[in-house]
Amino acid sequence: MSWGDRCIIFLHQTWKDISLDVANEGTPYEFQHSYYWVLQRLDYCIRTSDGLRVSRVVGTAPQSTSNSSQVSQSAATSAPQVISGAGDEVPKVVEAYRQALGGVNNSGKPGSQPSGRREINWDGVPDQFAAPNNLPSDFFNAPTEPRARGALLTTPGTALQVSADSDNPTDTPVRFAHINPSYRRMFHAFSEQRLFSPIGSHIVDLTFYVPGTKTPAVVRGFGAVYLDVDTKHTAFEYFDINGKSLGTFQTPIADNGQSFLGVVFPNAIVHRVRIRYGTTALGPNDGVKTDVAVMDDFIYGEPQPAQ
């Protein structure tokens, strides 16, 4: 029996044990969380020839149930593709995710393009909309190029912010060190120099529109680079145009390093992504009980008008 076969058998038994325990005593969130823990560990068992963690996730997260047989039935329907990695893997998995979405980078062209993807790396944000100033929610859905990218960013917190670069006119420290000096050493940009984070919250909602318009749109998938993920709380939850959850997916852990998580669905179905950053908003020191994380590059499928 191969190592991969033994690993899969172990995870199958682990899932049976977890599902019974959580179904009897846990909450729906804990059940969903455990489900994706097992799926992500499966990434280590199924690897492509170049070592990237690429797996086919079976179904979206099931709801809590006292009958474990219902889990396997509901987990056998759809199959979004999860592409994730951490540390030195990140450049390769980012490129793999771009290829999975297909086409070219349509950058900031207004209107929906027939194929391709969009990317946001924050480095084109001018000083007037970077720290210590806040980023407008619709900055990346302006009607003209290069800001027509179909992305509306909101937060239950007080603001959205892009970090300062090294030659900003107000001498604001880089990498959110104006909020906490330790962040300058802790966060390492994937694409220099600017980073992105909510202020006053650890949650951001990303909603898609036909680029440059207010027409609701859907995409095939969304992925992003995280910095300093220390715990299992950092995750994406995807929603369709009707607000139905398509599943929650956890980001690989990389303390003081870089992580990437991207999901590709068979069709353009994602209208909104809820993005969770660690366990708390920017401010406190990062520690055992406090996980502070920020983000770098966003990559997502070409926004198409929602039907």
- Domain limit, last residue, from 33, 53, 79: 79
Q: Are residues 144 and 164 in the same domain?
A: yes
- pTM attached to this predicted model: 0.77
Residues 255 and 265 sit within 8 Å (Cβ to Cβ): no
Residues 141 and 110 sit within 8 Å (Cβ to Cβ): no
Q: Are residues 36 and 112 in the same domain?
A: no
Q: Are residues 24 and 104 in the same domain?
A: no
Burial class (CB in 10 A: 0-12, 13-18, 19+), 223: buried
φ and ψ at 90, to 5 degrees? -55, -50
Q: Are residues 88 and 68 in the same domain?
A: no
Q: Are residues 214 and 298 in the same domain?
A: yes
209 pLDDT band, cuts 50/70/90, is very high
Q: Are residues 156 and 129 in the same domain?
A: yes
Q: Are residues 62 and 116 in the same domain?
A: no
Instruction: Provide the pLDDT for residue 258.
Output: 95
Residues 122 and 196 sit within 8 Å (Cβ to Cβ): yes
Q: Is the peptide bond before 132 cis (omega within 30 degrees of 0)?
A: yes
Question: Between residues 27 and 119, which one has the greater pLDDT?
Answer: 119
Query: Where in the sequence is the domain holding 105, given as residue range(s)?
Result: 83-305
For residues 260-278, average pLDDT? 96
Domain count, the chain: 2
Q: Are residues 92 and 62 in the same domain?
A: no
255 pLDDT band, cuts 50/70/90, is confident
Q: Is the peptide bond before 146 cis (omega within 30 degrees of 0)?
A: yes
Q: Are residues 31 and 156 in the same domain?
A: no
Q: Are residues 147 and 221 in the same domain?
A: yes
